[in-house]
Amino acid sequence: MEWWEIGGTKKNTAKLISAAERKAAAQHQSVEAIALHNQAKVLKAFQLELISEDCFHSSEGYGYHDLGRDKLEALFARTFKGEDAIVRPHFVSGTHTLFTCLRGLLRPGERIISLTGKPYDTLSRAIMGPRAEPEVSNLSYTSSLQDWNIPFMHVETEAVPLLENNGELAALLQGPTKVVFIQRSRGYNPSRKSLTTADVSNLAKTIRRCNKDITILVDNCYGEFVEKGEPLEGGADLIAGSLIKNPGGGLAPAGGYIVGSREHISRISEAYSAPGLGKELGAFIQSKRLYFQGLFMAPQLVAESLKGMITMAAALEEAGYRVSPRYKDKRGDLVQSVHLNSRSELELFCSAVQQASPVNSHYQPVPGATAGYADPLYMAAGTFVQGSSSEFSADAPLREPYTVYIQGGLNYNHIILGLASLLDKII
């Protein structure tokens, strides 16, 4: 039997996918070259940090003198070209990790400016509280940055050159501004494009022309290992992200990471734990092997995901859908967005992704209330790690314009089987 016969896939669907793979062959080859580069970089970091079996053991209590934890953080710092790092399972999400950065870096009266527009939903709430969604009357958060008199403003990336030319950007980036925030992924914004490392580098150069001492924090979620370089190499001071996305390699069960200069990491560590305690405490109760192995597997996982998303873009475009990015486009992350026409079409896509999952494939995803979001959210994810975006999954807020965000995949073949499920439903 052929692969498409085993799962009951239509023959025409298999032909469409084969045609998409042929069309995307050059892009696949480019992704594989990047993966080899990044795998060599990660392997060298493991060897230079002298990683041994002793690093995998768990710790308890306060977690003092945890060799494996310290080695893991040194490994992340070396891999992402930083001086120091915080890599912990205690971060509950990427938003929590980024919010910890901001709490450590900012004091009352100091301002944060985003040069990539309004941050995604959950981080906007953490920064602005109820002001993030004035149309929702029942929000009553009291611990956002603005509640601590830390003001926020945002500028769309497209407006940055004009603001620099007329002198407004230089004025905005002086005191009380202390932190500039850059978000690589599009979030749930259908009109935004993800940023490449070159885009981040260009923004960093612009920022430094206006204020060489300001702190540049990059939300690196979904962008790790997509290219040969990372934002710290392009002039950023700090990067942060989630371990159940790219750098966890589909194996890390929870957590987040922060990499940057020693000075910044030291300040953030006191927001992570408590003043005077910093990084010295924090028991790693889980076996750390999954974190080490996940980072080692990450370049390959990202490559498999990227190849799958590229094939998906080519196939869905051939089927008549508007996709972003297109299969030939330069990519800054591993998220594929598909622009749909109706709520029923959105439900169809999410249902197809769920049915192609190894876990909970018999469940029907429905939109529901999710912490940090004003709109009901579809989350089609039959994943081994709950909510893991490094595994094949699809998210979509239930709002117009109806756009579904597909990401992840532990291996290319699973993404192809998921694509077949999608195409069978829509052709």
pLDDT (average), residues 305-311: 98
**Domain termination residue (choose one: 245, 271, 294):** 294
What sign has the CA pseudo-torsion 34, 331, 295, 418? negative
3-state secondary structure of 254: coil
Confidence class for position 369, pLDDT limits 50, 70, 90: confident
pTM of the model: 0.95
Confidence class for position 135, pLDDT limits 50, 70, 90: low
In this structure, are 78 and 18 located in the same domain?
no
First to last CA, the chain: 23
Of the candidates 60, 62, 58, the one whose C-alpha atom is nearest the C-alpha of residue 286 is 58
In this structure, are 195 and 250 located in the same domain?
yes
In this structure, are 265 and 118 located in the same domain?
yes
User: For the chain, what is the largest distance between any 2 Cα atoms, rounded to a whole number of angstroms?
Assistant: 67
The Cα–Cα gap between 156 and 42 comes to: 34
In this structure, are 136 and 54 located in the same domain?
yes
**Domain termination residue (choose one: 235, 263, 294):** 294
The Cα–Cα gap between 338 and 405 comes to: 7
**Position 131 pLDDT exceeds 80:** no
**Domain termination residue (choose one: 232, 259, 294):** 294
pLDDT (average), residues 385-394: 92
**Position 133 pLDDT exceeds 90:** no
Domain that holds residue 21: 3-40+298-426
In this structure, are 169 and 256 located in the same domain?
yes
Of the candidates 423, 336, 366, 305, the one whose C-alpha atom is nearest the C-alpha of residue 28 is 305
Count up the domains in the chain and report the number: 2
Summarised one tens digit per residue, pLDDT across range 406-424 is 999 999 999 999 999 999 9
The Cα–Cα gap between 353 and 1 comes to: 24
In this structure, are 229 and 198 located in the same domain?
yes
The Cα–Cα gap between 144 and 99 comes to: 9
The Cα–Cα gap between 147 and 83 comes to: 32
Summarised one tens digit per residue, pLDDT across range 230-273 is 999 999 999 999 999 999 999 999 999 999 999 999 999 999 99
- Chain position carrying tokens 């790092």: 85
What is the domain-level CATH number for residue 344? Answer: 3.90.1150.60
In this structure, are 124 and 237 located in the same domain?
yes
The Cα–Cα gap between 34 and 40 comes to: 10
pLDDT (average), residues 88-104: 97
In this structure, are 124 and 138 located in the same domain?
yes
3-state secondary structure of 72: helix
CB 279 within 8 A of CB 328: no
In this structure, are 316 and 192 located in the same domain?
no
What is the domain-level CATH number for residue 220? Answer: 3.40.640.10
In this structure, are 22 and 109 located in the same domain?
no
In this structure, are 101 and 200 located in the same domain?
yes
In this structure, are 276 and 208 located in the same domain?
yes
